[in-house]
Structure 1
Amino acid sequence: MTRRIVVASLEAWDGVWRRNQYLVDGLLDSDPGTRVLFVEPPSDPLHDALTGHSPRRGRGSRVGGYDGRLVLHQPTKALPRIAGPLADALLTRDVVAAVRRLGWSDGVLWINDPAAVPLVNALGWPVVYDVTDDWVQAERTGRQHSRIAAADRMLLELSSEVVVCSPALASTKGASRRVHLIPNAVDVERYRLGVPRPGDLPDGPVALYVGTLHEDRLDVDLVLRTADAAAASGGSVVLVGPDALGARNRERLAAHPGVVALGAREHDAVPGYLQHANVLLVPHVVTAFTESLDPIKLYEYLAVGRPVVSTPVAGFRETKGLTVARSDAFPGAVALDLAEWRPSVEYDDLPDWRERVAAFGDVIETASGTRTPREGAT
C-alpha cells in the first residue's frame, strides 16, 4: 500500500539532522510504500537583500534520495508576512502545486511548522501536528506572538492527531484534547562506535556544546563566563552547530579567545566531537520555552557517556549521573571536569529512533483512517 506524506518542516533537509529527519528516514527505510514530500522553510529574497546577502529564490522541488521516494521542496517567499493573508496564500499555492505535480490526490499532512496552517484547508487531508517546541512560550514581538498562538490553537483544534515530544508539552497541549507523547531518541550504535578525534578540535581540554546557537535556548553570558573558567584551566569552550544568533551575540562570542565556534557539522561527524570532549555542556536559559523541550542532545550526550554539566533544564534536570548547576555555579563545575580526563560511562536502556519511528508510523496510520488509536496515548 502506498502511503503519501507531506511534511511541513521548521528546518531544511540538510546535514544537521533533527527529529523530522530521523523520523522521515526511518519511515522511508521501514516501508517501501512510503512517499514523502518534505517542505522546507521558504527562501526570503527580500530579507536577504535587507540584511546584505545575495537574494536567492527557493530551490523548488528535487529528488532527495530513497529511490526517488523522498522529494524535497523549498518555496520562495514572494512577500513578507507583514503583507498579511496574501503572503500565506502565495506560499500555500506553491506547496499545493508541488503536491499536484507529484500526482497526489490524498495523503497525510504532517505539520511541524505552525506557519503552515493554511495547508490544512488547502489540501483537505488528515493532519498530524508534531509539536517539538512550544513557540507560543518563546519571546516574540506582539504581532509574531499573536500569529504563532493563533496558528497553534487552530492546529490543536483541526488536526486529526497531535504528537508532542515532552511531558511539559503533553500537559499544555493535552489540556484540551488527546495527544500522543513520542519523545526524542538517539542512534545508540552509531554514537558508541569509536571514531578518531576531529582535526579541528583545539588542543587542550575541551568543553563542548552541540546544537543550534539561538537566544531562545543558549545563555550567551553564561557561555562567556564558562569560557573564562575554561581558559584558566588551559581549556576552551567549543560550539558545534548552526549559528542563528543575532549579530551582537555572535560578535561577543567571536571576540572571546576561549570560545571556538566551529559551525554546523554533518550528523555523521557529530559523535566524534562528543566522544573526544572532556565535558559536554548545556548552558541553556531556564524559561517556559526551554521547559517545553525534549533536547535530542540529552540522548546523544548519554549515548557517548562523557561528563555533562547542565543548567536545570527539562530532561537533564531529571537524569541521574549528570552535574546540574545553576548559572552562578556552572563555570566552576565545568572547570572541575576540565581538570582531568574522566572515563566515559555507559548508560543502559537509551531509546533508539527505531522505537520512535514505529510509534510515529502508528500515528500516521491512525490519522489516515487505517488504524484505530493505539493504547498509551496521553
Structure 2
Amino acid sequence: MTKHLFSLGLTTTFVSGVLLATSSFAAHSEEAQADNFNFNNWYVGGEFGRKRQDDLCKKSLSSCDSSDNAWSVFFGYEFSKHWALEGGYTDLGEYSTTGLVNGLTNHAVTSMTGLEFAGVFRMPLTEQAGLFTKLGAMYYDGEEKNSIAKFDDKGWSALFGLGLSYDFTQNLQGRVEYNFLHDLGDSEFAGDHGHLTTLGLAYRFGSNAKKAPRAPAPVTPVAKVVEPVVVAPVEVAPVEVAPVVVPAVNAFALFDFDKSAVKETQALKDLAAHLAANPQAQAAVTGYTDSQGSKEYNEKLALRRANAIAKYLTANGVNASQLTVKSVGETDLFASNATIAERLNNRRVTIDVAEFTK
C-alpha cells in the first residue's frame, strides 16, 4: 500500500511538472520555431491509471496481485484534426506472486516499463468531445526478483487503444482511454495480455488554425506645414449689359356697321402673343367709328369696340394692367366718309404698343 501511494505521488508530481513546463515553453514557442518547423501541431501530456495482467494468478499460487498503479508521459504530432502520431514512456507498475517452487516458498515481485509508439485516429463527436483509437506497439522492459534468482524480459507487444477526449480550452484537453497490450511479457514470466486504463491531460502548443498575420504598426501621419500664399486681389471691372430696346408695334381691327364683334386676324394673334410674352409692355387700345349716327352714340359704340378688343387680348394671356382703353368716336377719322370703303376703314380699333426696354 505504501508503495502504491508513493507511486501515485511520484506520478502526480511528474505530470504536474510536465504540464507546467509545457505551459511555460508554449509561451515562447512562436520565437522558438524555425521556418521549416510548425511547433503548433505538437502536444504533450501525462496519464495516470491502473494496469492489470491476464493469467498471472495461477491455481498453484498461494497469493497473487496482478494489478498496480501505472502512469505515463507522452508526446504527439497532429497531421490534421483526424490523424496524429504518439510516442511515450509508461511505468506499468509492479505485481507480486507467492507459491511453492520445488517444495520451497517463492515470493516474486515483477516490475515493468514500456516505450509506446502508435498512430492515432480521431473522430469528433461534438465541438469539444471526440472519440479516438490507437494502433501501434510497445517495447517493454520487465524485471522479476524472487527468492531464488533475478530474471529480465524484453520485447515487443502489439497495442490497441480506445478513448474519449474533451477540449477544456483550445490548448488543454482531457482524455480517458483503455489500451490492450497483446502478449505483454513471456507467459511464464508475466502472464499473458495486459490491460491499461488511464485518465490524463494533454497540452497543445497551438491550434491547427492558421494564425492571422500580425497587423503592421500604425503610422502616425506627419502634418506638413504649408506656407500661406498671398494672392493680390484682382479688380474686375463691372460688365455693363446694354439694355435691349423693343420697338413700338401696332395693329388694328375693323368692324361691321353698328357692330362691336371682333373679327380675329393673324395680326391680332401676333400682337396678343407679343404682349403676353412681355408683361412690361404697355398698349393703348383706341376705338373709332364712322360719321354716321349721332356723336354721343358713336362715342359709346367706339368704346364698346375698344373693350371688345381688350377682352380678346386678356383672353389670350395679356394682363389687363398692360392695357389702356379709350374711345374717340368719330372725331379722328382715318378717311373721309364719302364711300363705303372709306367708312369701313373708319370703323376700327387701333392697338399701339409703346417702345420698352428688356
Please give the TM-score of this superposition, normalised by the length of structure 1: 0.18
Per residue, is there more strand in 1 or in 2? 2
Per residue, is there more helix in 1 or in 2? 1
Please give the TM-score of this superposition, normalised by the length of structure 2: 0.19
